Structure 1
Amino acid sequence: MFVIRLPNGNLQVPQTAIGNDGRVIGDVYVEIGPQDADYARLAEQALTPDEAEQRRLEWRAGDAALQREFLEFARLVGDQHWPGLEPGTDAGDPG
């Protein structure tokens, strides 16, 4: 998520929403203006909405290339399991 400079001069700033139980609910944007204490610091890294969209598009293109590379790797490896794991075990299960 990026800090985005809006046409009115305010900034959209990413913020993590946390529930009452302390668990992360999700990421949101909040709008702040020049009166906010963090405005000057955040404005230094702010992107225009067009620049932010361009970065998202570049990431998606990179994700597609990485996915193609992974699929090719998976095709080459076939049904071989990771070293040190018994076939049929879950890699996320340590024991």
Structure 2
Amino acid sequence: MFVIRLPNGNLQVPATAIRQDGPVIGDVYVEIGPQDADYDRLAEQALTPDEVEQRRQEWREGDAALHREFLEFARLVGDQYWPGQDPEAD
């Protein structure tokens, strides 16, 4: 997750949502403004929404290349067992 600089100057920062009884619900974004104590520190690493989308696109392209490489590996290996797998366990 990234710190995102919004067009209005505020930041969207990652946070963890926790239920009152303790379990983690998930990761969320919260919006903070310049009055927040952590604003200056977080603003140094903030990305614009366009920069975030560009990084996501680069990851998707990288994931696609890795997926193609895995499929080619799986095609070459065929029905052979994976290294370390016990063929008697089936």
Tell me the TM-score range normalised by the shorter chain. Answer: 0.7 to 0.9
1:54 aligns with: 54
Question: How many aligned positions are there?
Answer: 90
Deviation track 1:17-53 (CA, whole Å, cap 9, x = no partner) reads: 2334544322211001111111111100101111111
Structure with the bigger percentage of helix: 2
Deviation track 1:41-86 (CA, whole Å, cap 9, x = no partner) reads: 1100101111111111111111111111111111111122222221
List runs of 5+ in structure 1 lacking aligned partners: 91-95
2:74 aligns with: 74
- Three-state SS of the structure 1 residue aligned to 2:63 is helix
Q: 1:51–1:75: structure 2 CA closer, same or farther, 3 Å change rule?
A: same
Distance 1:19 1:86 in 2: 43
Q: Give the percent of matched residue pairs that are identical in Structure 1 and Structure 2.
A: 84
Distance 2:24 2:89 in 1: 30
